[in-house]
Structure 1
Amino acid sequence: MRTAYRVETVRTAEEELMAQLPEGALMQRAAAGLAAACAGLLGRVYGARVVLLIGSGANGGDALYAGARLARRGAGVSAVLLAPDRTHPGGLAALTGAGGRIADDPFEVLASADLVLDGITGIGGSGGLRPDAVPVARAARGSNAVVVAVDLPSGVEADSGEVRGEALRADATIAFGAYKPGLLIDPAREYAGTVRLVDIGLEPHLPSVPEIAALQHEDVALLLPEPVGESDKYRRGVVGIAAGSARYPGAAVLAVAGALRGGAGAVRYVGHAGEAVIARFPEALVHAGPPAKAGRVQAWVVGPGLGDETGAVAEILASDVPVLVDADGLRPLDASAVRRRSAPTLLTPHAGEAAALLGVDRAEVEAARLASVRELASRYGATVLLKGSTTLVAAPDGALPVRANPMGTPWLATAGSGDVLAGLTGSLLAAGLGAYDAGSVAAYLHGLAARHASAKGVPITSYEVGEALPGAWRDVQDARDVRDVREG
């Protein structure tokens, strides 16, 4: 699991660690890891042309010390000083002592650079790049060099993942000690490129509960529902799907497709697309409705493709089982009705639907995804899965870390993919997972399935994503099998 911590938390941990180390040792650890990572990206250090973009913070010092290490290995290293009066003195002395130089013309050295180290701002920066740094950043991005961010791309917000001005887009980011939320959350994540974490000994000083958590294969494997010898279809859970309409029958088919592959023992479909569902999935249990007369379920999914036929939403919210509300089911949603529920509720909006629920513009949600998902979870007293290039899952009480899932692919932006996700998530709820875990696991498997389906780099359909779910499940299950062998 990858975990991220707020700037204040990281700085407190650094202070505790520095109190145990000789002066300057922590910065040297960071610089050594940074230099090693840059050497790996360059392949051949001797003769390489490296440019350091140096601001006034500690990140500038890290970059200068790393540049000194590269210079001692034969690289030609030039430093562009964007705050000459506040440049880290020890780092600058180390660089010049190792044969590095201060650039007279930043644009000249950038034009021929093989690698650029972005040490303009630190993790405490806010509001985008300063105007004087913008032309240099643009020249760096416009060059043929590999751009490497020191700890965090300059211009992005470390704690929120917001980008409130111009920022320098990196090809890779070398993070020290701990991920920062902005490295895992869009839109800032898009500026970070490939992220590598350098261990500087910070972990023992960090709290046990992070701000953000990103599951990986082994974490998901531990959460997958697994039948036992005494299982039957009812003990494994039955998920109810209230979806589709005369206008959108395909949403029902796609939601059932996802549900059938989510671990529950049976799927009950309720709605106006029964013929389409049974034609594709004869194993589905089809009922015309209303939901209360369809038979017992352990969880409900309501909303995909309902159009204006949203009468089932209130009835299902009045039930005593976990409920997932998606798509058209979100439009008539009453926050007080959700908060009154005794059973868990999971809302799965995309940015536009989240904006409507919050009463703000879509752009505001897209710019501040972390704040938006937290506000939704708090306001509705529900777990919220905010869909997007990085899916976020937030619990209602705020005590658990927000889970970030970057597993998807741009090919997943296709009609009906959210219907598959809703069905899959509802099935996991019926199989016994809590709303927080069900949303996190489903988002992970859904994204992984999309990667499988689009492996050849061709457009995919949502139905193909559903078809690829067993392969994604198998991949994750293999991680658990490997762990069991290793621990056995």
Structure 2
Amino acid sequence: MIRAHSAATVRAAEEPLLAAGEPLMARAAFALATHVAGELRARGGVSGSVVLLLVGGGNNGGDALYAGTHLVRRGCQVHAALLTERAHESGLAAARSAGVRVHEVLGSGDAVGETLALARRSDAWVDALTGIGARGPLREPAGSVVDALTAERSAWPAEPAVVAVDVPSGIGVDDGTVEGPVLPADRTVTMGTAKPGLLLPPAAALAGHVEVFDLDLALAEHPPAACSLTGADVSDLWPLPGPEDHKYTRGVLGLATGSQTYPGAAALAAAGALRTGLGMVRYTGPEVPTDLVRHRHPEVVTVPGRVQSWVLGSGVAPDDAARMAELAEYLADASARGLPVVLDAGALTLLHDDDNDLTGPAVLTPHAGELAELLTARGEQTGRDDVTAAPARHARLAAEITGGTILLKGSTTVVAAPEGPLYAQHDATPWLATAGAGDVLAGVLGALLAAYGDALAADDGTLTGLPATIAAAAALVHGRAARSAAGVSPTRPGRPDPAAPRGVPITATDVADALPRALRTILR
């Protein structure tokens, strides 16, 4: 699991080491220089390369200045553009002494022009404008400098490498928001532990490849603020049948999905569930989707009986009064018995009324627009753009209001429970944005919840965070299946990979069919 800790937690963990005289900055600077050299080597060589340090105040600026001394010794020509009046004093002295060429661009009257002139002849830029204590968008002139650098870089045939120190300057360190200009990094060298903004969207897409440099911080007793599951985590979580198991002990999922208007959602949810490894799927619905499910999936049972979790709402329109009344009954019964339930599509509107607070384990699976509608209905005026700009914040808010776990669908899936860490899963491909893919995900999630259904129903409070972990696991498997179907190799654990091959178009059925292949790789 990739764990990320808040800025406050990191600073608190650093304090005893600094008080004991541990040379944290020296170690961080050496690691930074090593990774900058690695980027230069990948582009042709280290010795003779030109490096530009973009230096702000605070310790990140100090890390960069000290890193510059190492790069000079490795044969680089290093320039430092000071965009602060409070550059790290000892770092600046060391840089000057080592031969780093210092440019006080802040006082030049044309900080943007002078920095651009330096950048144009540099092979690598080191972003050390702000640190993990910064809040909000970059102040001027740093914001204008970053805007200009971003525009210039994208226009060059051979883009310089960009290495960020700790986090790309200007991102929301703890929540992943992006309120102003940010210089996209090829690599972020983060100290001690990952920071939430390196995992959470939209900022995560600006961090490039994240390298965590271990500072031996005492973080074991501090729960992460955000994390990403890896295949190994899912393998540990995934229920495997034993010799004494039978179809009822492996999990029975109830599906109340699809409608006369949208029957395909029922078949797709069943396809996702059946290929995930549970014991039985029971389907209940109108004639058209029932006939389709029977035809496509003869394994599905279409008579009532015992279930251990429910998926409600996929393919059901909120104005389908008869079908919505059925969903309300299933939700009430599941809540009364403590059964886990997945609420998708039309079923999400059941929670627009605050009289329908959840009393059992539930996972809601909205996209940004549906989450905005839910929050607005519950008194928090919210638009789709608001959710897109701050998905982690709004997912957490919805979890707190409803008492459920929110799986917010998007290019990065964000999972939030009322308490505990956020999850960010970057496992999918853009080809997954296709009709019916969410129905398959609902089936996968419901099947996995069914395997844990009896334990969750009998929970005494020790499994409070389990639905969120299960939701993140379902998102990982669903995303890996999409990549497999599209012919795209798996991404780096926990990180988006913009350089990965783009693959080929896929349908939701392709994703369902690829689930066994994805699971074969994960469970191996």
Same fold (TM over 0.5): yes
Give distance in 1, aligned partners of 2:315 and 2:148. Answer: 47
State the 1:258 CA deviation: 0.7
Residue of 450, 466, 474 corresponding to 2:512 = 466
SS at match of 2:350: coil
Cα offsets for 1:14-61 (capped at 9, x unmatched) = 112112224xx1101110111111111111210111111001121111
Q: CA, structure 1 residues 335+70, in 2 after alignment: closer, same or farther (shift >3 Å)?
A: farther
How far does residue 138 in structure 1 lie from its aligned partner after superposition?
Answer: 3.0
Tell me how far apart the structure 1 counterparts of residues 148 and 358 of structure 2 sit (CA, whole Å). 55
**Structure 1 match to 2:388:** 366
Q: TM-score, normalised by structure 1?
A: 0.92
Equivalent of 1:354, from 356, 365, 371?
A: 371
| 1:47-104 Cα shifts (integer Å, max 9, x gaps) | 1111110011211111111111111100111111111x21112112222222210247
Deviations 1:166-188 (A, max 9, x none): 22221211110011110100011
The answer for the alignment partner of 2:61 in structure 1 is: 60
Corresponding position of 1:483: none
Q: 1:369 offset after TM fit, Å?
A: 1.5
Q: What do residues 125-164 of structure 1 show as CA deviations (whole Å, max 9, x unaligned)?
A: 1221223113322343322211111100111110111111
Say whether the 8 Å CA contact 1:65–1:95 is kept in structure 2.
Answer: yes
- Is the counterpart of residue 386 in structure 1 residue 408 in structure 2? yes
- Residue 239 (1) aligns with residue 256 (2): no
From 314, 318, 332, give the equivalent of 2:350.
332
**Equivalent position amino acid for 1:349 in 2:** P
Return the offset for 1:437.
Answer: 2.9
Letter of the aligned partner of 1:69 in structure 2? H
- AA at the equivalent of 1:171: D
Measured at CA, do residues 340 and 147 of structure 1 come closer, stay the same or move farther in structure 2, by a change above 3 Å? closer
Amino acid at match of 2:295: A
| CA distance in 1: counterparts of 2:450 and 2:256, whole angstroms | 14
Gaps of 5+ in 1: 288-293, 479-488
Q: Which residue of 2 aligns with 1:45?
A: 46
Q: How does 1:4-19 map to 2 (within 5 A)?
A: 4-19=4-19
Q: Which residue in the other structure is 1:279 paired with?
A: 295
The alignment-based identity, stated in percent, is 48
Q: What SS does the aligned partner of 1:365 have?
A: helix
Residue matched to 2:428: 408
Q: What RMSD, in angstroms, separates the aligned Cα atoms of the two structures?
A: 1.6
Per the alignment, residue 96 of structure 1 pairs with 96
- 460, 464, 475: which one pairs with 2:521? 475
User: Which residue is 1:69 aligned to?
Assistant: 70
| C-alpha distance in structure 1 between counterparts of 2:358 and 2:428, whole Å | 34
**1:349 offset after TM fit, Å?**
1.0
Report what 1:217 is aligned to.
231
Preserved CA contact (<8 Å) 1:317 1:338: no
Structure 1 residue 438 displacement after superposition:
2.2
Structure 2 unaligned regions, length at least 5: 106-113, 154-158, 377-381, 454-465, 489-502
Aligned mates of 2:188, 2:435 — CA distance in 1: 33
For residue 448 of structure 2, give the secondary structure of its aligned residue in structure 1: helix
1:344: which partner in 2? 361
Q: 2:120 aligns with which of 111, 114, 126?
A: 111
Residue matched to 1:159: 174
Counterpart selection for 1:31 from 29, 32, 35: 29
Deviates more, 1:429-438 or 1:242-251: 429-438
Cα contact 2:59–2:88 (8 A) shared by 1: yes
Contact 1:17-1:205 within 8 A present in 2 as well: no
Aligned partner of 1:38: which letter? V
The DSSP-based 3-state class of the residue aligned with 1:94 is helix
Distance in 2 separating the partners of 1:118 and 1:381: 40
**Offset of residue 304 of structure 1:** 0.6
Q: Would the aligned equivalents of 2:146 and 2:181 in 1 still touch at CA under 8 Å?
A: no
The within-5 A match list for 1:185-200 is 185-200=200-215
Whole-Å separation in 1 of the counterparts to 2:383 and 2:169: 27
SS in 2 for 1:286: coil
- 1:310 maps to what in 2? 324
Letter paired with 1:59 = N
Could you tell which deviates more after superposition, 26-35 or 212-221? Answer: 212-221
- Counterparts of 1:414 and 1:91, CA distance in 2: 51
1:452 to 473, 484, 488: 484
Equivalences, count:
465
CA distance in 2, matches of 1:153, 1:206: 26
Give the match for residue 427 of structure 1: 447
Say which SS state the counterpart of residue 126 (structure 1) adopts: coil
Which whole-Å CA distance do the structure 1 matches of 2:470 and 2:358 have between them?
Answer: 21
Cα deviations across residues 294-324 of structure 1 (Å, max 9, x unaligned)?
2211111011101223222211111222111
2: CA distance, partners of 1:334 / 1:186:
26
Q: Secondary structure at the match of 2:400?
A: helix
- C-alpha displacement at 1:419, in angstroms? 0.6
Deviation at 1:6, TM superposition (A): 1.0
Aligned-pair CA distance for 1:333: 2.3
Number of the residue aligned with 1:482: none
Alignment check: 8 A CA contact 1:140 1:147 kept: no
Distance in 2, matches of 1:266 and 1:336, equals 33
SS of the residue aligned with 1:267?
A: strand
Q: Structure 1 residues 63 and 206, CA, compared in 2 at 3 Å: closer, same or farther?
A: farther
> How far apart are the structure 1 equivalents of 2:353 and 2:476?
27
One-letter amino acid matched to 1:19: A
Q: For residue 392 of structure 1, give the secondary structure of its aligned residue in structure 2.
A: strand
Residue pairs, 1:130-209, within 5 angstroms: 130-141=139-150, 142-143=152-153, 144-202=159-217, 204-205=218-219, 207-209=221-223
Counterpart code for 1:32 = F
Alpha carbons 1:262, 1:424 under 8 Å: kept: yes
User: 327-336 or 223-232: which moved more?
Assistant: 327-336
- The CA distance in 2 between the partners of 1:436 and 1:152, in whole Å, is 26
Partner AA of 1:363 in structure 2: D
SS at match of 2:351: coil
